[in-house]
Amino acid sequence: MPSRTMAMLETYPKAINLDRAELAAAIDALNDCAQACTACADACLSEDMVADLTTCVRTNLDCADICATTARVLSRHTGYDANISRTLLEACATACRSCGDECAGHADTHEHCRICAEACRACEQACRDLLARIS
C-alpha cells in the first residue's frame, strides 16, 4: 500500500518537477527521522546519566526540527523554488550525519540511540538521493 504521502502527491493537479515516488520516499524518511530524533531526545532525558547525553539531546532536537521543516517544504509545490529545496536538503543531510554520528556513539549503551542513528543514516541518504535529482 502506498504511503499517505504518495497518495497526496498523486492528487496534486499539476506537474511536479521530481519523480513523485522518489519525493514521497524522501518525505517519509524525513518524517520518520524527525519522529525518531524527537523520541530519542525524550528517552535521553529519561536516562539516569542524562548529563552525559546533553549533546545528544540537542543534536536530536536540531535534527528533528530540520527534518520536519524540510518535509513540510518538500510537500508544497505551488511556486516551487529548487534553490530552497536544495539548500534545505543539504542542511538536512548535514544535520542527519551529525545526529547519526552522535547517536552512534551511544548506541552500545542506549537502544533508542541505535534506532535513531539508523533513522538518521536512512534520512541522510534519502536527502542525498533527492538532491541528485533536483534540477
Q: What is the CATH classification number for the domain harbouring 119?
A: 1.20.1270.360
Q: Is residue 92 situated within a structural domain?
A: yes
Nearest to 20 by CA among 98, 120, 133, 96: 133
pLDDT digits (tens, 9 = 90+) for 65-114: 999 999 999 999 888 889 999 999 999 999 999 999 999 999 999 999 99
Q: What is the pLDDT of residue 16?
A: 87
In DSSP notation, 37-102 reads HHHHHHHHHHSTTGGGGHHHHHHHHHHHHHHHHHHHHHT--TT--HHHHHHHHHHHHHHHHHHHHH
Q: Is residue 14 situated within a structural domain?
A: no
Instruction: Report how many domains make up the chain.
Output: 1
Q: Is residue 9 situated within a structural domain?
A: no
Range of the domain at 111: 20-131
Residues 34, 65: Cα–Cα separation, whole Å: 7
Q: Is residue 4 situated within a structural domain?
A: no
Q: Is residue 15 situated within a structural domain?
A: no
pLDDT digits (tens, 9 = 90+) for 18-34: 889 999 999 999 999 99
Q: Is residue 2 situated within a structural domain?
A: no
Band (pLDDT 50/70/90 cuts) for residue 15 is confident
Q: Is residue 115 situated within a structural domain?
A: yes
Percent over 90 (pLDDT), the chain: 84
Q: pLDDT higher for 17 or 62?
A: 62
Q: What is the pLDDT of residue 106?
A: 97
